[in-house]
Structure 1
Amino acid sequence: MNEQEQLIMNVRDLFNKMAWINKSKMEGSLKGYKPSEVHCIDSIGKNVDANVTKLAVSLYMTRGAISKITKKLINRGLIETYQKSNNKKEIYFRLTEQGEVIYKIHEELHKEFQERDKVVFEQITEEQLESLLSFVEKYSKHLDEEIKKQNLSIN
């Protein structure tokens, strides 16, 4: 296995470990909510004027999948729709009070995980961190271009 393959495998392994170690705490604190629902709530909470298309792009899901999730979240009283007075065509989403509670629980869990893992980040230099960030950004841009080339859409 060459170094590139090793790096990709290690990144995947790292992501899977993070998901595994966080899973029980997430599921316990957000019982009754699917990960896709929580991520949708999180994205609505972080983005002003979130609509189906913005959510599909940010969550790497189809618009159809987002429509299903948002309908469930509306029915559960976690989000609501609204329209702008200057654009009656577009439908946007915002969190309800109940949705804000879920959003804040999710945010607090991520802060807790970040605090748990702080020890690792304290051991690397600013230059190392900048180098890692630069690599991730370059790789992400490359994948964005591949997505465009392959015409992978959110339909």
Structure 2
Amino acid sequence: MDTYKAINDILVHLFNEIWELEEKAIITEEYKDITNNDMHIIEAIGLGEGNNMSMIAKKLNITVGSLTTSMNSLVKKKYAERIRSEEDRRVVYIRLTEKGIKAYHHHEEFHKKMTDAVVEALDQEEVPVLVKTLNSLAEFFRSYR
């Protein structure tokens, strides 16, 4: 198999496999009430005092309208909460609850294991090459936005 075909096959299959395997790894018995997509929204909300809907939607590259449906579900299931700004009551912040923070760390652990598996397979001098390669791939995808 030539190099081009090998790289193409890896890339095409890798994205689907990551999405599928991530879902199996993170949607455990404890988190069976949410989806893989919900986990990525939890990740985008992040830890701390919270973000507004526009900031979260921008991180996910989706519309606020699309995010609203998922957010309603996460609030209902007690993974996130809405908090009105004291300064401007029109502004609503989204913050993870204790349950949401636990889910955030669960998802983060999967990503850590995935990253560690890749880095541990490389020699020290190979890591910068991988970072350069992945940055090039990320730039390619950003050019399609």
Q: Conserved in 2, the CA contact under 8 Å of 1:22 and 1:113?
A: no
Q: Conserved in 2, the CA contact under 8 Å of 1:52 and 1:63?
A: yes
Q: What is the CA deviation profile of residues 30-75 of structure 1, one whole-angstrom value per residue up to 9, with x for unaligned ones?
A: 3221112111111111576422222222223332221011111111
Distance between the aligned counterparts of 1:125 and 1:32, measured in 2? 40
**SS of residue paired to 1:114:** helix
State the AA in 1 paired with 2:101. Answer: E
The count of corresponding residues between Structure 1 and Structure 2 is: 142
State the AA in 1 paired with 2:120. Answer: V
User: Residues 84 and 5 (structure 1 numbering): CA distance in 2 closer, same or farther, change over 3 Å?
Assistant: farther
* Matching residue of 1:11: 11
- Tell me by how many angstroms 1:16 deviates: 1.6
Q: Conserved in 2, the CA contact under 8 Å of 1:78 and 1:95?
A: yes
Q: Which moved more, 1:120-129 or 1:17-26?
A: 120-129
**SS of residue paired to 1:94:** strand
* Matching residue of 1:21: 21
* Matching residue of 2:129: 128
State the AA in 1 paired with 2:45. Answer: I
Q: Conserved in 2, the CA contact under 8 Å of 1:43 and 1:58?
A: yes
* Matching residue of 1:76: 77
Distance between the aligned counterparts of 1:89 and 1:124, measured in 2? 52
Distance between the aligned counterparts of 2:37 and 2:128, measured in 1? 35
* Matching residue of 2:119: 118
**What is the RMSD of the two structures over their aligned residues, measured on CA atoms?**
2.8
Runs of 4+ in 1 over 6 A off after TM superposition: 3-6
Q: Which moved more, 1:90-99 or 1:121-130?
A: 121-130
- Tell me by how many angstroms 1:93 deviates: 0.2
Q: Which has the higher contact order (CA 8 A, sep 6+)?
A: 1
- Tell me by how many angstroms 1:113 deviates: 2.3
Q: What are the residue-to-residue correspondences of 1:12-51 with 2, within 5 Å?
A: 12-28=12-28, 30-45=31-46, 49-51=50-52
Q: Identity of paired residues, percent?
A: 21
User: Residues 47 and 124 (structure 1 numbering): CA distance in 2 closer, same or farther, change over 3 Å?
Assistant: farther
User: Residues 58 and 32 (structure 1 numbering): CA distance in 2 closer, same or farther, change over 3 Å?
Assistant: same
Distance between the aligned counterparts of 2:14 and 2:5, measured in 1? 14
Give the unaligned 5+ runs of structure 2.
Answer: none
